[in-house]
Amino acid sequence: MTLALIIIAVVVLALATTVTLRRRRRARVPLAAPPRAAMPEILVEEPEERPRLDDVDAPGLATRLGSSRGVFDRVRALGAGDVSDEQLDVVEEVLLRSDVGVATTTALLADLRASGAPHGVASAVKAALRAALGDADRGLRDVADEGRVPVWLFVGVNGVGKTTTIGKLAQREIAAGKNVILAAGDTFRAAAADQLTLWAERTGADIVRAAEGADPGSVVHDALGRAAAKGHDLVMADTAGRRVTSTNLLDELAKIRRVADREPGQVVETLLVLDATTGQNALSQAQEFLAAADVTGIVLTKLDGTARGGIVVAIQRELGIPVKLVGVGEGVDDLIVFDPDAFVDALVEA
């Protein structure tokens, strides 16, 4: 009996406690939210325009050719008047280090001995380098005979930047309003066609490619047929660049050129791509390609990354083929038309 009363008492006490807590919760007054600060009517009177990357001034040519320009520092320090043997030694060393070449260096030293340097040694060297570069036409021909499609053929050994050069030029020509098709004729190098396909996707160019190891001439032939059928304005054809000393490769290049030059195509430019950082080796490579490919112009890449900028002069003077384009950076717009005056100024001008 006593146990039952205790249990009843506990239950009654629990119920009473619950009722009391509920009443307290209902009676609790909600706290008011703190007042917010008033918003200003105008947050920014004149919002500033977000800065754009393309507003930044690109470095000048002298800056881009800093390594080559640095070689000529000693020439710029020489004075005017009669030229001493010590000064001639300095000029000779600088020209040879910059890969101007023995023939050009010898001719320039002979002129300095005979005429002196009334306006300064640097001025005399600058005039000689400019004269060696000549006044050849450095434009790219993009017009073929009526009813035919113009073809730009690109040749050069592997690793010189040939495929990248094609991609950059494709972007430039498409931006100018041309309808461009790429021919992935380097079927011997692994992933060469894949690399060119990426450039086609990036630039909006059309492309014809084949399986690795396929006949390069057939790729160019198919690209010409597609260009004629679809009304393309320009065909850019990549070619193999493996083993420049291989007779088979040079024969293959000659064959590709014959295919590209048949109707409906017409080769209007054959551009030999060379790596400026290889110096005199670039000149040797050029001599190997001339007969096989009938080169019309030189593209010299990586000119910003070498102290051998004088190779431009050696190529022009010894081969008689104009340097038409130079690469002075990795950006798409860093493949520029070669300007002899600006180039010589960048190297020698104080």
pLDDT at 159: 86
Q: What is the pLDDT of residue 232?
A: 97
Q: Residues 111-165: pLDDT tens digits? A: 888 888 888 899 999 999 999 999 989 999 999 999 999 999 999 988 899 999 9
Question: What is the model's pLDDT at position 247?
Answer: 55
| Lowest-confidence segment of 98-107, 117-126, 130-139, 239-248 by average pLDDT | 239-248
Average pLDDT over residues 224-247: 84
Residue 36: its pLDDT value, please?
54
Element (H, E) at 206: strand 206-208
Q: Do 207 and 272 belong to one domain?
A: yes
Residue 51 confidence (pLDDT): 34
Q: How far is CA 86 from CA 91, 93, 113, in A?
A: 9, 11, 12
Q: Is residue 346 part of a domain?
A: no
157 and 78 inside one domain: no
Q: Are residues 75 and 174 in the same domain?
A: no
What is the residue range of 182's domain? 149-295
pLDDT 10s digits, 7-18: 676 666 666 666
CATH number of the CATH domain containing 74: 1.20.120
Q: CA-to-CA distance for 78 and 220, rounded, in angstroms?
A: 54
Q: Rounded to whole angstroms, what are the CA distances from 33 to 29, 36, 131, 157, 178? A: 13, 9, 85, 76, 66
Residues 118 and 252 in one domain: no
Whether residue 78 is found in the same domain as residue 177: no
Read off the pLDDT of residues 167-219 as tens digits, 9 standing for 90 and up. 999 999 999 999 999 999 998 887 889 999 999 999 999 999 998 888 899 99
pLDDT at 227 over 60: yes
Name the one residue in this structure whose structure tokens are 């000779």.
92
pLDDT band at 56, cuts 50/70/90?
A: very low
How many folded domains does the chain comprise?
2
